[in-house]
Amino acid sequence: MNKEISIKQFIQAIQKLPFDERREQWIRWLSEYHTPGYYQRLIVKGRNAKFAYNHVANPKMLLWLIQAAGVSKNLVKLAKFDCNKVVDMHQQSAAIRKHVPWEALEGPLQKLLEKEATHWLQYWKPFQIEPAITEPWLLNHSAGNQLGRVKPGDIVWIISVEPPGRLITLGPIYVQQKVRQRKAEALIGPNLWPADWHIVDTSENAHRAKRVDLSPIASRLRFVSQDFPILDLKQGKVSGTQFQQMRKLEPESAELISRVWYSTKSALENIVDKFGNQLDDLASLDEERSALVRREQGILRRLLFGSDSVGHCGICGREYPVSLLVAAHVKPRAQCSDLERRDTANNLIPLCLLGCDPLFEQGFISVDKGCVVFGPNEIKTKDLEEQVGVLVGSQCRYWSRESKKYFDWRAKHPVHIG
């Protein structure tokens, strides 16, 4: 007898299915399953995938899932036929489960869970990875003519070689979709690097890039290749020419890289560790002088800029002297709980005083799924729309699944309070 499938495993299985709006709907719904969610559900721990499947009342989600997972076509056909006989969503869902009970879906889901994703190494030149190292770049897109070998569901690790031969990775890109140039620009934005193929991950689970040194494990990496199963190392150094073709990793090597990458802290996380304790040492973040002073401001600026004299705006990406950048809370400080104010890893963004700070603060621009969009502020002028239009479509490196809740709050409140 197969072991019960948990909610987490249910999500993992669905993530291996081809990209579709219904797939994202399933993932969002299941991700909130042990929380009250939008409908303020009663939280009951221990509920598994079977319980979730038997209680979802969305026939479109159910029909997509049973078909995409590979349930018998005859059962799917019968489920559709009986579903169309009734109008009520609960009755439709029950009609589907009558023909496709959990036991009929469980087998295909178990096969999905057992299916190992193929891991690849894709080489980026040093000048291409520099922006990703200096900023928390979102790993949601890559281009290349060799990506034709990659399939949805695969994992592509972005690597490079730093002088004098140090192998590094920025992290993994989950291949949600593999598309051509025009489709990629519609999903990500215009002016993408031209290539035959593009891989994209527009989900909320895309990782933020961080530089991780793979040199200590380079000699242990093994590839699916008869001619070049290992790296040719010279005194521990590797040449970038060995990655002119994409390399397919053996499962053990993919697991090794994953362990190293996930266990290594990013530069931002290290800064937070260094200065974050100073925030914890403050019993209160305010103290009264002649006026209320934000005691943590100096710490926040050190978190973002360290000792640098220049920095990048988190919205437009332009480089300015740090005197022209502010350390801003994504969700306005006055509206934050004390815990939210201290969440410096996710609720902090540098904004330039030359436009992005007031535009973001007053809701003329927002960030949705990592991209800059028009904000909810309905006051418009021709000149304003022209200036905002330049920013729309830009990628915000400070958006992540952890910071999403702060950006979403901001998008629903067009005027900064406090």
Does residue 417 form part of some domain?
Answer: no
Does residue 1 form part of some domain?
Answer: no
Would the pLDDT of 40 be above 60?
no
Q: What is the mean pLDDT of residues 366-388?
A: 89
Same domain, 185 and 286: no
Question: For residue range 1-32, what is the model confidence (pLDDT) as tens digits?
Answer: 457 899 989 988 987 787 677 888 898 888 77
Kindly state the tokens that stand for 88: 């009520």
Question: For residue range 194-226, what is the model confidence (pLDDT) as tens digits?
Answer: 999 999 987 766 788 888 999 999 999 999 998
Same domain, 380 and 287: yes
Same domain, 98 and 126: no
Percent of the chain beyond pLDDT 70? 86
The CA-atom distances, in angstroms, between 28 and each of 136, 207, 210 are 24, 17, 26
287-296, 301-310, 391-400, range with greatest mean pLDDT: 391-400
Cite the DSSP H helix spans in 207-354.
251-263, 267-280, 297-305, 338-341
What is the radius of gyration, based on Cα positions, of the chain? 24
Kindly state the tokens that stand for 247: 């390399």
* Final residue belonging to a domain, choices 248, 263, 278: 263
* Domain count along the chain: 3
Residue 183: the pLDDT is: 92
Same domain, 67 and 136: no
Residue 143: the pLDDT is: 95
Same domain, 37 and 131: no
Give the confidence band of 286 by pLDDT, cuts at 50, 70, 90: low
- Nearest C-alpha neighbor of 207 from the set 258, 249, 248, 163: 258
Residue 1: the pLDDT is: 42
Same domain, 130 and 249: yes
Does residue 2 form part of some domain?
Answer: no
* Final residue belonging to a domain, choices 114, 139, 162: 114
Measured between alpha carbons, how far apart are the two ends of the chain, in Å? 59
* Final residue belonging to a domain, choices 230, 263, 296: 263
Same domain, 131 and 256: yes
The CA-atom distances, in angstroms, between 195 and each of 127, 140, 144 are 18, 16, 5
Question: For residue range 53-103, what is the model confidence (pLDDT) as tens digits?
Answer: 999 999 999 999 999 899 998 999 999 999 999 989 999 999 999 999 999
Residue with token string 């190293």: 260
Residue 92: the pLDDT is: 95
Q: For residues 389 and 402, give the distance between their C-alpha atoms in angstroms, rounded to a whole number.
A: 27
Same domain, 79 and 143: no
Does residue 331 form part of some domain?
Answer: yes
Same domain, 80 and 143: no
Does residue 416 form part of some domain?
Answer: no
Query: Counting Cβ atoms within 10 Å, is residue 158 exposed (0-12), middle (13-18) or buried (19+)?
Result: buried
Same domain, 98 and 124: no
The per-residue pLDDT of the chain, averaged, comes to 84
Q: Assign residue 293 a region: left if phi > 0, alpha if psi is -120 to 50, beta otherwise?
A: beta
- Residue by residue, DSSP assigns 56-120 as ---HHHHHHHHHHTT--HHHHHHHHHHHTT--SHHHHHHHHHHHS-HHHHHHHHHHHHHPPPPEE
Same domain, 47 and 137: no
Q: Which domain holds residue 242?
A: 119-263
Would the pLDDT of 396 be above 60?
yes
Same domain, 233 and 103: no
